[in-house]
Amino acid sequence: MKKSVKNAINHSLCLLACLQLASCKVVSNKPINKKFDQFVRTLDTEEKTLESQQKQLLANNLKSSAKKIEKLINRAPKLRTWQDRKNGPGREQSIEKYNNSKDKIRTWMADVKNLTMGIHGITYKTGKNSFKMTEKGRLKNTPIQLAQNEMITLYSLTYLRNLSEGYINRSLQYMNKLSSKGLAKYAAEDEFKLEVMQQYMAYMGMIKIVDKDAKETLTKLKRMRDRGILPDNYNDNISQLLGSERNRSAKKVKAFKDFKDEALTKEQIEEFDKALTAFETTFNKKSLLFDPANPDHPLIHLFVIASNLSWGLINTMVGGAFVATAAVLAPVSRVVNKLIDTLFPRFMFRMYEIKFPTIRISESRMQIYADVCGLGIVSGKMSAGLFELDFCTSQGFATNHEAGHAKQSALLGPLYFPAAILSYILVGGHGGFIEEWADIWAVKQTW
């Protein structure tokens, strides 16, 4: 750890103790629990499927883990050095008592860390569930279930942030005592002090990551709301949660600002801010969210687009042919059906009416989305070079998976469709290595 970081903490720890709460209870999940319980009750009303049961289990595990961490933080072991004199009345400081306290605190730190990683695991697994595909290449989760996954992710991040703040408060108490004159003879050259500081800074970094991931998750939920996927009660639940959290955060920010302005010197403020900035920079590009294509650099997108306009151009031309066919058949189908209605009103058969194709940039930002509903026999999607062809599903459906096919097309060029056909022949239907490969190369979900 840099000397400036150590100095900043050593100089300001005694004063930082002013930020601690007067009571032993430094963290409470109660405000979050209230909103989370409302959300979990909506899961109970879902039809009992494997997917819904998994969500219920994840939600229960999340609340259970958050409760255990809350209890651990509020019942943190104390750093003790004083004990009754062995020979005579009174009390004395003891290195044995100090070492025994250190062992308990180390165990406590490890337990909190392991449970925190458990919540991270829930966050990661929930995100991964959103990408599960059926054997036919469709998403297993319905749009509502995808929204539920994002809600669980948002709550897991909210719990993580709240508990991280509680852990930081406890760590400051330890560091304050370790920096006191009374423990100078024990803690001055002790590595334990450095261990506490390092985990403290790690949780500061955790808050930075959580804030960034929560913003991304809220963006996904907003898109779902705008498309009518997010139920009104979920939207209300989010608004109430964010309102209460915003008020609590504002009070903490103000308290910390007042503390710095009144209690620290200008030099101490500069050193402390510099130390936090260094750790925030370290954690700034990290994420707790599941990403099937991490890292999926923007240069990959540029390569795929360029290759599908050169080496893979034949595949893009096939996709363009589908779009052109739909564009031609759309007015034809309307004219034919109008003629049938006029000339043969009792004739029961009509030509399937095809809508003029809708063209947009795909959700993956790697292809051109084209709604060609009516050309396919069954609903689903197909990738042809730069085209993500949609046969009566939705723009967001499996877009990350289809972008994986776009990468395959860029690499294989004219061999892409023969490889796909071979894959389907080997398994006797849709699937095989070409679909598994597309899952591996799928880009980040952008709901």
Report the pLDDT averaged over residues 208-234. Answer: 87
Tell me: pLDDT of 299 over 60: no
- Give the torsion sign (CA, 55, 61, 67, 72): negative
| Of residues 265 and 151, more confidently modeled | 151
pLDDT at site 284: 59
Tell me: pLDDT of 80 over 90: no
Helix H segments across 179-308? Answer: 184-187, 191-226, 232-263, 266-283, 298-307
Tell me: pLDDT of 155 over 80: yes
Q: What is the pLDDT of residues 339-387, one digit of tens each?
A: 777 777 666 666 566 778 889 888 887 899 999 887 877 778 999 999 9
Q: Which of 207-221, 235-249, 327-341 has the lowest mean pLDDT?
A: 235-249
Query: Is 213:47 a contact under the CB 8 Å cutoff?
Result: no
Q: Which of 122-136, 144-158, 228-242, 244-258 has the lowest mean pLDDT?
A: 244-258
Report the pLDDT averaged over residues 240-257. Answer: 64
How distant, in Å, are the alpha carbons of 25, 70, 168, 170 from that of 74? 5, 6, 12, 8
Buried b / exposed e over 274-286, threshold 16 CB at 10 Å, is ebbeebbeebeee
Tell me: pLDDT of 252 over 80: no
In this prediction, residue 31 has a pLDDT band, given cuts at 50, 70 and 90, of confident
Tell me: pLDDT of 446 over 50: no
pLDDT at site 280: 58
Report the pLDDT averaged over residues 321-332. Answer: 87
How distant, in Å, are the alpha carbons of 83, 179, 359 from that of 96? 10, 19, 74
Residue 131 structure tokens: 């990408």
The winner for highest mean pLDDT among 25-29, 250-254, 296-300 is 25-29
Domains of the chain: which residue ranges?
Answer: 3-290, 302-440
pLDDT at site 385: 93
What is the SS3 assignment for 135? coil
Q: How many CB atoms lie within 10 A of CB 132?
A: 13
